[in-house]
Amino acid sequence: MDERSVYKSIGREENLTGISRRVAQISVSAIKQMPVLARNVPDAVSLGQGIPSFGTPAFITEAVCEALARDERIGKYSLQPGLPDLKIEIARYLKRKKGVDADPDRELFVSCGAMEALAAGIATVVERGDEVLIPTPNYASHIEQILFAEGTPVYVPLLEEQGWRLDVDGFRKSVSKKTKAIIVCNPMNPTGAVFSRKDVLEIAQLALEKDLFVIADEAYDFLVYDNQEYLSFASIPEVKDRLIGTYSFSKMYCMTGWRVGFMYASSRIIDQVLKVHDAFAICAPTISQYAALAALRATNGKDGEGDRFIENLVHALDTRRKLACSRLDSLEALFSYQIPKGAYYVFPRIIGTPLNSMDFALKLLYEAQVISIPGNGFGPSGEGHIRFSFGGTEDEINTAFDRIHEWARINL
Ligand SMILES: Cc1ncc(COP(=O)(O)O)c(C=O)c1O
């Protein structure tokens, strides 16, 4: 059984009769499958899916309730590229955060989460046989999105011992005549790496030299620790014509269920991506666009309620990061790990058992009642690792690590 069919086998039996090759070859990512399996494990505690424990803040939900009471447009389709007022606020946000002058009318579209923006962007530029360079390990859905577009993912291993650094030379050596794009997720899921300014600029340079698109997944761009410098691809004017930048409200405002994000790209690209958006979604949920508008209106880059919320969120997640790291330190016979610098994931190497990542994750689930995500769901060099999210509460993190400790004491 190959790696991909392992994932299929933990879901429902598949009957692929009549199913297109395009769809038959892709899978639901392990990130989503493990919580589904865990439904049958009473009292399981999660270090699995990347959902922060906090609810959507009141300054967003109250604005939506008010709009529901007085504005019937909230229950209707919005304009297909998104609410014009929201796009104006997004452009202001991009200017403030990244120094970008985005034309709200032509260079932005509001998507059903960053996920739809990524899928639509990849489908727009990648076609059958095109190669797309991605780091490995990497966010699992990028792999499925490339395959869905009938492209070929070409994996470039990250440099684990250098804090999961980008191997720019490896990227350069992997370019072929068929290479169409590079996908970079920064800050990174699943490793928690934040790529250096130098490496980001070198990837941008490579894209320019080799005429490649840069697909930047920057869903965690607000979540960087230890004052680490962060360079967004959107802030590099030279790549603008080849950039597909995707962003999310999910993590920054604890809005994972609202399904709203956006894309920043040149008008040439946005015009094409909107065809895909129309075919798959028509528009992002209008109610969620109202929520995103309230979120950005409360965020002014200084002392707005949104700014305070984000600051507290980053602070709380930093505390949880330190807690998760200290718990990992006391499991040094089982794991070795690189300290995460961004997002809310850590991706330890499993050193204390010969189990592969899937078997290990299943044992943690069924024997320790801890949900985790096996590393082999994140591309070839994910094997031998496990992804833990520290988005949960400190209590959840402590309970999960207590259980792993106990499991290791009995089994190793
Ligand atoms: C790296 C990365 N990109 C994109 C997404 C999807 O974001 P959204 O909820 O905005 O679709 C996630 C969600 O976990 C993610 O981790």
Residue 202 contacts residue 236 (beta carbons within 8 Å)? no
162 alpha carbon to ligand 1 midpoint, in Å?
A: 25
- Probe ligand 1: pick from 34, 139, 222, max atoms within 8 Å of CB? 139
256 alpha carbon to ligand 1 midpoint, in Å?
A: 8
263 alpha carbon to ligand 1 midpoint, in Å?
A: 13
**In the structure encoding, which two tokens stand for residue 21, read together?**
């090759």
Q: Residues 173-209: pLDDT tens digits?
A: 999 999 999 999 999 999 999 999 999 999 999 999 9
- In whole angstroms, how far apart are CA 319 and each of 72, 208, 209? 42, 39, 41
Q: Residues 111-153: pLDDT tens digits?
A: 999 999 999 999 999 999 999 999 999 999 999 999 999 999 9
Mean pLDDT of 299-327: 97
Q: Torsion angle of alpha carbons 32, 269, 230, 337, nearest 10°?
A: 30
184 alpha carbon to ligand 1 midpoint, in Å?
A: 13
**Any idea which residue has 């209106």 for tokens?**
297
Q: Alpha carbon 267 to chain centroid distance?
A: 24
Would you state the pLDDT for residue 306? 98
119 alpha carbon to ligand 1 midpoint, in Å?
A: 11
71 alpha carbon to ligand 1 midpoint, in Å?
A: 30
Considering only 44-53, 127-136, 240-249, 288-297, which range has the smallest mean pLDDT?
44-53
Would you state the pLDDT for residue 6? 42
Q: Residues 236-275: pLDDT tens digits?
A: 999 999 999 999 999 999 999 999 999 999 999 999 999 9
Contacts of 221 (CB under 8 A, 6+ apart): 97, 186, 187, 230, 232, 247
29 alpha carbon to ligand 1 midpoint, in Å?
A: 12
- Probe ligand 1: pick from 141, 233, 246, 260, max atoms within 8 Å of CB? 141
pLDDT tier, 1 (very low <50, low <70, confident <90, very high otherwise) = very low
| H or E stretch covering 131 | strand 131-136
Q: Is the pLDDT of residue 11 over 70?
A: no
Contacts of 14 (CB under 8 A, 6+ apart): 8, 24
Residues with CB under 6 Å of ligand 1 are 50, 113-115, 139, 185, 189, 217, 219, 248, 250, 256, 261
pLDDT tier, 50 (very low <50, low <70, confident <90, very high otherwise) = confident
Q: How many CB atoms lie under 10 A from the CB of residue 257?
A: 11
- Probe ligand 1: pick from 194, 250, 259, 378, max atoms within 8 Å of CB? 250
257 alpha carbon to ligand 1 midpoint, in Å?
A: 11
Helices (H) and strands (E) in the chain, counts: 14, 14
pLDDT tier, 12 (very low <50, low <70, confident <90, very high otherwise) = low
The mean pLDDT of the chain is 95
Which of 368, 395, 374, 404 has the alpha carbon at shortest distance from 386? 374
Atom of ligand 1 nearest to the CA of 112: 11
Residue 394 contacts residue 323 (beta carbons within 8 Å)? yes
Atom of ligand 1 nearest to the CA of 260: 10
Atom of ligand 1 nearest to the CA of 248: 10
CA-based R_g, the chain, Å: 21
**Any idea which residue has 């906090």 for tokens?**
54
- In the three-class reduction of DSSP (H, G, I as helix; E, B as strand; rest coil), residue 205 is classed as helix
Would you state the pLDDT for residue 326? 98
Q: Is the pLDDT of residue 27 over 90?
A: no
219 alpha carbon to ligand 1 midpoint, in Å?
A: 6
Atom of ligand 1 nearest to the CA of 118: 4
83 alpha carbon to ligand 1 midpoint, in Å?
A: 21
**Backbone angles phi and psi of 5, in degrees to 5:** -70, -20
115 alpha carbon to ligand 1 midpoint, in Å?
A: 6
- In whole angstroms, how far apart are CA 393 and each of 25, 57, 284, 312, 346? 36, 16, 30, 14, 15
My answer on whether omega of the bond before 190 falls inside 30° of 0, hence cis, is yes
What 8-state DSSP symbol labels residue 301?
S
Mean pLDDT of 97-110: 97
The residue whose CA is least distant from atom 7 of ligand 1 is 114
Residue 135 contacts residue 157 (beta carbons within 8 Å)? yes
Would you state the pLDDT for residue 390? 97
325 alpha carbon to ligand 1 midpoint, in Å?
A: 23
The residue whose CA is least distant from atom 2 of ligand 1 is 219
- Probe ligand 1: pick from 217, 233, 246, 249, max atoms within 8 Å of CB? 217
The residue whose CA is least distant from atom 14 of ligand 1 is 50
- Probe ligand 1: pick from 122, 248, 288, max atoms within 8 Å of CB? 248
